[in-house]
Chain A
């Protein structure tokens, strides 16, 4: 009766997550699309309604009441995860009836805390860090998808009692990890830890970045495929080595799967694959007939979502189910084809299925990732994982020398394989930067994808190809739209105690970066590119900007120029403008122009009128070498000042070239040594922008300066309070948006 129809229930359950209006519209759409099926099958119709309504009524919210400031909390909590011991702290998720789930960080270790414990804790609860720039990763949103809304630092665990049954399994897992760590080489252990235990923090950043660049980071997580291989190997061993009956082998596996899920950190893809395998095994024990794979997957999805409603919000859950559903529905396209075509099709279909999600989360996709998948998926699944499992077993049964030999051969081959990825480097032509697509575009893509796959399945290749072209064309829309947009945009990015501005001319006639600063860290050893990786690049990519036309560096201090190397390398500007007190850089395809007062730069409709530095003055400090210029687009003028001091301000006033402007970038993060009263009177801005770090060590902006701006009736925006600040100018009107509410 329900055979082959469970996917309708799974779909209606997912639709229940949507906001009221969109949700009801889409369930109506579902009834229209499947009317023939539903009218014939009243039970299905009834269950579809039940599934939608129950999901709709119980969908959790991703918002919670916000704390204005940190609060102290002391009380009993129940521990929901296996406490994770890191080098510096102990982390776990705890729950209280009134506060919900909390992510707690404890400094002191505690031996009694276990999964399922009740603990008396004292902690300081606060909101998780939110993004302060468009396009930036938000830790707060990330934790919300896990149903966690508060974090607690400086947690003291006063006492704990009780523990759950599961905690014994976690304890076994921890001790197994410890033993492997001590007996194996580091190289082997980090891979084993990632691929068998699902903890990839040992793998170095550069490698993870390369995997992400090629869209193959799914390999670094335990995927459904790994689970499949583990089960297949176990089944074959049980049948052929242990020589048990098929029925008994299946029962062993049914008991083994939950244990394996727990050992593998119960990530959504592992849960999915594990439950699907269990379902198939149980079904095959009691039925002769084959079960429809789409049905099993749908049932597994509903069960998982019923046990944890937050799972649907999680990236790995979305990716895992999108890929698995697409591949199952493509079964006719994956049969009777050569091995090569099969891999190619699997890779292509998976990539296309997750493309909207990939762009939504990462703003780019790698168009050659199928090629990397073709190499690395077989390598990892057929070589790495089986060998790692053999190594684990060998620790128990083989002499140490043998294990050592296996260990060394593995790390030798694995290092070569990882080196191969570096050898491919990160060529620009391989990635397609689209930006974060609008939800409507994602829906349009998905509908066209359904059409394409359906035509392909019917072997209507021409129609399928047309749909394919349209479908990919959808994502050219956001790339073309800026060329039609008459708005002029200036964005002050929140880069902490440093500077970075992005200027976008109307109709995409030019994109400029003014300063690319990194915060100065107490420990000079750490090479920092955090602003570049976390703010500048995500901001540009999220807007579909993959290259910029010109970079301006006010001066060479680290907080204004720190990530210039990365900017040049990844965004390939045509021009670099700096003050004249340096040697020109010799970089391919980069015109480095040295500027001084009196010069003018024209780019499109933008006019840059340079007011300083004047090399004839006796300038000693780098700050005073800062480029000062007025950027004029249409009638809108903004004065950029770098880090100049009062001395330079006075010099500029004396030249008599300075008239009032619309926007002033307040010099030197609002320090008292700049922005004199005379300067402010002369410049007479309507708007002042201060780029300054929250709770910085220098006490910037100085209260005196803030007061001076106020008393001059200058509307002031600061990155420490407002996050990124965006000025949009169109038709003589400017509008200011602040990213933090």
Chain B
């Protein structure tokens, strides 16, 4: 097999660990090493996985959210990678230039992270949706693509109405903006939201809020990136 990113052979160097392994790898080890796994960084916020200094447990953002909201609708977020420059490049290729196959580059990391943190919980996997307009633009929903890597059935409980692109708003605007999500069904009790990136946490909290009022008791989230 050839690497999805650099097209070199993905056959790993023979070591004890790879000797009995017939798995085809979608990405070569040298490309994979350029991503930075967040759980290999020393210390992160216990709620949202933002990298913080040693003596803190909760990051400033999460403190702010606690002050702002009576009860945080999002119980906990887990992310796999940091948003380093290499990730930015590959994300752009994946999301904006529509290279759907690249999603398999992260398959191992996503399933590993899922198994490690949520493996023994019964969660309903719900991807963050795109609005119809954005979906037509991109051709696929990156959150749904990532969600299906987990290997569990996906429930598209949420519907998104079109609004301005998040990235064109200021932080305050985003937090104060109207909730773009709604749902027409009752929500199961335990939910795992899936998205590509956690930046401020607003999107995930808006989605969590909607599901909470539709009957969810606990909402977790998993994202590929914590920026």
Contacts and interface: CB of A to CB of B under 8 A. Distances in A.
Interface in B9-23: 9, 11-22
Given A36-B22, A37-B22, A40-B22, A292 B17 contact: no
Given A37-B22, A40-B22, A3 B11 contact: yes
B101 interface: no
B14 A328 contact: yes
B11 A457 contact: no
Contact of A454 (B11, B12, B13, B16): B16
Contact of A292 (B8, B13, B21, B22): B13
Nearest to A40: B22
B13 A457 contact: no
Contacts of B12: 4
A293 B13 contact: yes
Contacts of A330: 15-16
Contacts of B18: 4
B194 to A, nearest CB: 27
Given A3-B9, A289-B8, A33 B20 contact: yes
A629 interface: no
Nearest to A456: B16
Contacts of A328: 14
Interface string B1-40: 0000000110111111111111000000000000000000
A457 B16 contact: yes
A332 interface: yes
Nearest to A37: B22
B15 A329 contact: yes
Contacts of A450: 16
A726 B209 CA distance: 87
A18 B37 CA distance: 47
Given A4-B14, A292-B13, A329 B8 contact: no
A454 B22 contact: no
Interface in A330-365: 330-332
A589 B22 CA distance: 61
Contacts of B8: 289
B22 A457 contact: no
A458 B11 CA distance: 17
A454 B19 contact: yes
A251 interface: no
Contacts of A292: 11, 13-14
Contacts of B14: 4, 7, 292-295, 328-329
Contact of B16 (A3, A34, A295, A329): A329
B15 A332 contact: yes
A332 B18 CA distance: 11
Interface string A387-413: 000000000000000000000000000
Contact of B15 (A34, A39, A331): A331
B16 A453 contact: yes
A336 to B, nearest CB: 12
Interface string A544-587: 00000000000000000000000000000000000000000000
A594 to B, nearest CB: 61
A456 B19 CA distance: 13
Interface in A448-479: 450, 453-454, 456-458
A329 B16 CA distance: 5
Interface residues of B, number: 14
Q: Is the interface of B mostly helix, strand, loop or mixed?
A: loop
A458 B15 CA distance: 10
Contacts of B15: 329-332, 457
Contacts of A457: 15-17
A283 to B, nearest CB: 14
A294 B13 contact: yes
Interface in A410-463: 450, 453-454, 456-458
Contacts of B19: 7, 329, 454
Nearest to B24: A40
A122 to B, nearest CB: 54
Contacts of A331: 13, 15
A295 B19 CA distance: 12
A5 to B, nearest CB: 8
Interface string A263-305: 0000000000000000000000000010011110000000000
B7 to A, nearest CB: 12
| B8, B9, B12, B13: most-surrounded residue (chain A CB, <10 A) | B13
Nearest to A332: B15
A332 B17 contact: yes
A292 B15 CA distance: 10
A42 B13 CA distance: 21
A116 B12 CA distance: 45
A731 B14 CA distance: 55
Contacts of B20: 33-34, 37, 454
Contacts of B21: 37
Interface in A483-511: none
Contacts of B22: 34, 36-37, 39-40
Contacts of B17: 332, 454, 457-458
A34 B22 CA distance: 8
Most buried by B among A289, A292, A295, A454: A454
A4 B11 contact: yes
Nearest to B18: A4
Contacts of A36: 22
A294 B11 CA distance: 13
A301 to B, nearest CB: 14
Interface string A18-56: 000000000000000110110110000000000000000
A3 B2 CA distance: 12
B145 to A, nearest CB: 26
A7 B11 CA distance: 14
A289 B21 CA distance: 22
B190 to A, nearest CB: 30
A328 B16 CA distance: 9
A657 to B, nearest CB: 68
Contacts of A454: 16-17, 19-20
Interface in B190-226: none
Max chain A C-beta neighbours (<10 A), residue from B15, B16, B17, B19: B16
Interface of B: 8-9, 11-22
17 contacts: A3-B11, A4-B12, A4-B18, A7-B14, A36-B22, A37-B20, A292-B13, A329-B14, A329-B15, A330-B15, A332-B17, A450-B16, A453-B16, A454-B16, A454-B19, A456-B16, A457-B16
Given A4-B11, A34-B22, 13 more contacts: A3-B11, A4-B12, A4-B14, A292-B13, A293-B13, A294-B13, A329-B15, A330-B16, A331-B15, A332-B17, A450-B16, A454-B16, A457-B16
4 residue pairs, one from A and one from B, having the closest CB atoms: A36-B22, A294-B14, A457-B17, A457-B16
